[in-house]
């Protein structure tokens, strides 16, 4: 039975110097912390750097970071060195969740050592420990079994077309297998903004939803005159989801008809994008 500490020692690392952290945050509703780590690495690392006194990191020590996926695997995402820590600033908020911090919290200066354990990122899966409160553990006192070392880094399972919802700003970083699924499907989608306004659009190109949404990623409007006239930049606060998808045999005109049906269903607050 291979354990995590045995692997650390094989890599020339002292478990006495390492703390383990297992990230799982039920407050996130539309995505997981694994999604954030995968597509918004800087934001994830800023979130990780904030810890309370009970789970603070030892300055000069190492932090082996793990994230729980939607399939409930505890996956290794990096080994960080702690160079320092500071108390929070006035009105400083927790990254990712944008919630207030406690005055007793610390912000840690965490950096990835060059190449150390880099080959195991996204591949190493361990047996999780049960204590959900003490999610930071000292490696020397907690030696979980290694359940798997994947041959290649594995993507998260696709949530399904009708369950898919992402910010435009996050699309560039989604899993390659997810892009393939979105490129295979055509149909009608909804583009919403944080102020409540909605836009109904259709995707009928050769690469389906991915082709159309990637155009928004490029300039925020995808060249759509309705968004341009409304002064919208979907990269700032736009979210896309799928209302209806169709088979490849359905014509562009048939998809546009379905787009008009959805605009009628959703009412006056849902503008039609009239995609070209």
89 with 221, same domain: the answer is no
Q: Is the pLDDT of residue 261 over 50?
A: yes
Does any domain span residue 122? yes
Domain end point (choices 149, 175, 203):
149
Does any domain span residue 154? no
113 with 232, same domain: the answer is no
27 with 87, same domain: the answer is yes
74 with 128, same domain: the answer is yes
11 with 107, same domain: the answer is yes
By mean pLDDT, which of 24-28, 73-77, 91-95, 120-124 is the weakest? 24-28
pLDDT computed for residue 133 by the predictor: 54
192 with 247, same domain: the answer is yes
143 with 72, same domain: the answer is yes
pLDDT computed for residue 15 by the predictor: 95
Q: Is the pLDDT of residue 90 over 50?
A: yes
Domain end point (choices 119, 149, 179):
149
145 with 165, same domain: the answer is no
66 with 121, same domain: the answer is yes
Give residue-wise pLDDT tens across range 170-192.
888 788 889 999 999 999 999 99
Does any domain span residue 256? yes
- The alpha carbon of 215 is separated from its chain's Cα centroid by a whole number of angstroms, namely 21
122 with 15, same domain: the answer is yes
Spatial neighbors of 56 by CB under 8 A, at least 6 apart, are 85, 106, 108, 136
Domain end point (choices 96, 120, 149):
149
pTM: 0.65
Rounded CA separation 88/17 (Å): 25
Mean pLDDT value across residues 73-86: 94
235 with 134, same domain: the answer is no
Mean pLDDT value across residues 89-115: 90
Does any domain span residue 232? yes
Tokens of 24: 């799982």
12 with 79, same domain: the answer is yes
Q: Is the pLDDT of residue 161 over 50?
A: yes
Instruction: State the residue range of the domain holding 212.
Output: 161-272
Task: Decide: residue 196, CB within 10 A, 0-12 exposed, 13-18 middle, 19+ buried.
Answer: exposed
CB-CB contact of 109 with 85 (8 Å):
yes
pLDDT computed for residue 187 by the predictor: 95
Give the chain's domain count. 2
Does any domain span residue 99? yes
Tokens of 57: 């990191």
Q: What are phi and psi of 203, to 5 degrees?
A: -120, 115
CATH of the domain at 206: 3.40.1440.10
């Amino acid at each position: 039975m291979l354990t995590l500490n045995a692997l650390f020692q094989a890599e020339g690392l002292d478990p006495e110097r390492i703390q383990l952290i297992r990230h799982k945050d039920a407050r996130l509703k539309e995505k997981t912390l694994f999604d954030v780590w995968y597509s918004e690495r800087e934001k994830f690392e800023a979130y990780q750097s904030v810890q309370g006194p009970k789970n603070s990191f030892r300055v000069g020590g190492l932090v082996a970071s793990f994230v729980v996926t939607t399939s409930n695997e505890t996956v290794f995402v990096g080994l960080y060195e702690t160079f320092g820590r500071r108390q929070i600033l006035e009105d400083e908020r927790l990254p990712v969740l944008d919630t207030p911090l406690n005055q007793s919290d610390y912000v840690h200066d965490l950096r990835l050592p060059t190449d150390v354990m880099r080959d195991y990122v996204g591949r190493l899966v361990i047996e999780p420990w049960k204590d959900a409160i003490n999610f930071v553990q000292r490696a020397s006192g907690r030696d979980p079994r290694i359940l798997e070392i994947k041959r290649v880094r594995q993507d998260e399972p696709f949530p399904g077309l009708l369950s898919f919802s992402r910010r435009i700003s996050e699309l560039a970083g989604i899993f390659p297998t997810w892009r393939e699924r979105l490129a295979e499907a055509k149909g009608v989608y909804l583009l919403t903004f944080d102020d409540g306004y909605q836009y109904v659009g259709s995707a009928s190109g050769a690469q389906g939803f991915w082709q159309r949404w990637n155009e928004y990623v490029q300039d925020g409007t995808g060249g759509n005159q309705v968004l341009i006239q409304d002064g919208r930049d979907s990269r700032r606060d736009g979210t896309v989801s799928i209302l209806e998808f169709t088979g490849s045999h359905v014509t562009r005109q048939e998809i546009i008809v379905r787009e008009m049906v959805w605009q009628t269903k959703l009412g006056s607050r849902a503008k039609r994008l009239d995609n070209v």
